[in-house]
Structure 1
Amino acid sequence: MALNQSSDPGPDHCQTPSNSTYLTLSWVMVLEFSLGLPLNLSVLYVFIFRFRFWKNRSVFLFNIVVADFLLVACLPVKIFHYRHAVRRSDNPAVCRSLLFMLFLNRGASIAFLIALSLDRYFGVVHPGRQNPVRFLRRTPWVSVFIWLLLLPLTVPTMVTTFECCNSHGRVKETFYHDVTDTFREVVFFVQIVVPFVVLVYVTARIVSRLRRKTVGERTKLRRATCAVMAVAAVFSVCFLPCAVARAALLAVRVSGDQAAEDVAVQVYDSLMVLSYTDCLLDPLVYCFCNSGFKDAYLSTFCPTFLRRRLSAASTTTTAAATVSSMNSCPKKNTHSKLA
Structure 2
Amino acid sequence: MGTNASAADNNLHHCNISNARTYNVLSGIITGQFLLGLPLNLSVLYIFIFRFKFWKNKSVFLFNIVAADFLLVACLPAKVYNYQLGQRRSPNHWMCKAMLFMLFLNRGASIAFLVILSLDRYFNVVYLGRRNYVKVLKKSPEISGVIWLLLLPLTIPTMVKTFECCNSHGRDDNDIADTFREVVFFSQIIIPFIILLYCTVRIVHRLKKKTVGEKAKLRRAMCVVVAVAVIFSVCFLPCAVARAALLFVRLKEWQEAEDVVVQVYDALMVLSFMDCLLDPMVYCFCHSGFKDAYLDVFCPAFLHKKLRKAETTTTTTTTTTSAVRSLSLPMVEKLQV
Q: What TM-score do the two structures reach when normalised by structure 1?
A: 0.92
Q: Which amino acid aligns with 2:256?
A: A
Specify the SS of the correspondent of 2:14: coil
Alpha-carbon distance in structure 2 between the residues aligned to 1:242 and 1:122: 30
User: Residues 59, 276 of structure 1: CA spacing in aligned structure 2 closer, same or farther, 3 A cutoff?
Assistant: same
Q: Deviation of residue 284 (structure 1)?
A: 1.0
Is 231-240 or 304-313 further displaced after alignment?
304-313
Q: Following superposition of structure 1 onto structure 2, how do residues 116-155 of structure 1 map, counting pairs within 5 Å?
A: 116-155=117-156
- CA deviation profile, 1:148-175 (whole Å, cap 9, x unmatched): 00000000011012111010002x34x4
Specify the SS of the correspondent of 1:180: helix
CA RMSD of aligned residues (A): 1.9
Q: Following superposition of structure 1 onto structure 2, how do residues 254-265 of structure 1 map, counting pairs within 5 Å?
A: 254-265=251-262
Aligned pairs, number: 327
Match of 1:32 in 2: 33
Q: Deviation of residue 268 (structure 1)?
A: 0.3
Match of 1:285 in 2: 282
Q: Give unpaired runs (5+ residues) of structure 1.
A: 1-7
Q: Deviation of residue 314 (structure 1)?
A: 1.9
- CA deviation profile, 1:47-87 (whole Å, cap 9, x unmatched): 10012112220111000000000000000111100000001
- CA deviation profile, 1:3-26 (whole Å, cap 9, x unmatched): xxxxx9964530001111111100
Alpha-carbon distance in structure 2 between the residues aligned to 1:95 and 1:163: 9
Alpha-carbon distance in structure 2 between the residues aligned to 1:252 and 1:301: 48
Pair 1:331 & 2:332 matched: no
Q: Which amino acid aligns with 1:310?
A: L
Specify the SS of the correspondent of 2:289: helix
Specify the SS of the correspondent of 1:144: helix
> Are the counterparts in 1 of residues 207 and 215 from structure 2 also a CA contact under 8 Å?
yes
Q: Which amino acid aligns with 1:113?
A: L
Alpha-carbon distance in structure 2 between the residues aligned to 1:92 and 1:304: 50
> Are the counterparts in 1 of residues 41 and 70 from structure 2 also a CA contact under 8 Å?
yes
Is 305-314 or 215-224 further displaced after alignment?
305-314
- CA deviation profile, 1:203-261 (whole Å, cap 9, x unmatched): 11111111111111111011111111111111111111100110111111111111100
User: Residues 326, 212 of structure 1: CA spacing in aligned structure 2 closer, same or farther, 3 A cutoff?
Assistant: farther
User: Residues 139, 222 of structure 1: CA spacing in aligned structure 2 closer, same or farther, 3 A cutoff?
Assistant: same
Specify the SS of the correspondent of 2:109: helix
User: Residues 328, 261 of structure 1: CA spacing in aligned structure 2 closer, same or farther, 3 A cutoff?
Assistant: farther
Q: Which amino acid aligns with 1:67?
A: A
Task: Identify, as 1 or 2, the structure richer in helix.
Answer: 2
Alpha-carbon distance in structure 2 between the residues aligned to 1:161 and 1:287: 42
Specify the SS of the correspondent of 1:291: coil
Match of 2:56 in 1: 55
Q: Following superposition of structure 1 onto structure 2, how do residues 304-315 of structure 1 map, counting pairs within 5 Å?
A: 304-315=301-312
User: Residues 334, 200 of structure 1: CA spacing in aligned structure 2 closer, same or farther, 3 A cutoff?
Assistant: closer
Match of 1:196 in 2: 193
Match of 1:234 in 2: 231
Alpha-carbon distance in structure 2 between the residues aligned to 1:97 and 1:59: 27
- CA deviation profile, 1:244-281 (whole Å, cap 9, x unmatched): 11011111111111110010000000000011011111
> Are the counterparts in 1 of residues 61 and 139 from structure 2 also a CA contact under 8 Å?
no
Q: Which amino acid aligns with 2:122?
A: Y
Alpha-carbon distance in structure 2 between the residues aligned to 1:67 and 1:180: 24
Alpha-carbon distance in structure 1 between the residues aligned to 2:135 and 2:58: 9
Q: Which amino acid aligns with 2:74?
A: A
Match of 2:69 in 1: 68
- CA deviation profile, 1:81-129 (whole Å, cap 9, x unmatched): 0000001111111010000000000000000000111111111111111
Is 97-106 or 12-21 further displaced after alignment?
12-21
Is 9-18 or 232-241 further displaced after alignment?
9-18
Q: Which amino acid aligns with 2:27?
A: S
Alpha-carbon distance in structure 1 between the residues aligned to 2:193 and 2:325: 34
Q: Give unpaired runs (5+ residues) of structure 2.
A: 1-7
Match of 2:183 in 1: 186
Query: 313, 321, 328: which is aligned to 2:318?
Result: 321
Q: What TM-score do the two structures reach when normalised by structure 2?
A: 0.93
Alpha-carbon distance in structure 1 between the residues aligned to 2:259 and 2:85: 18
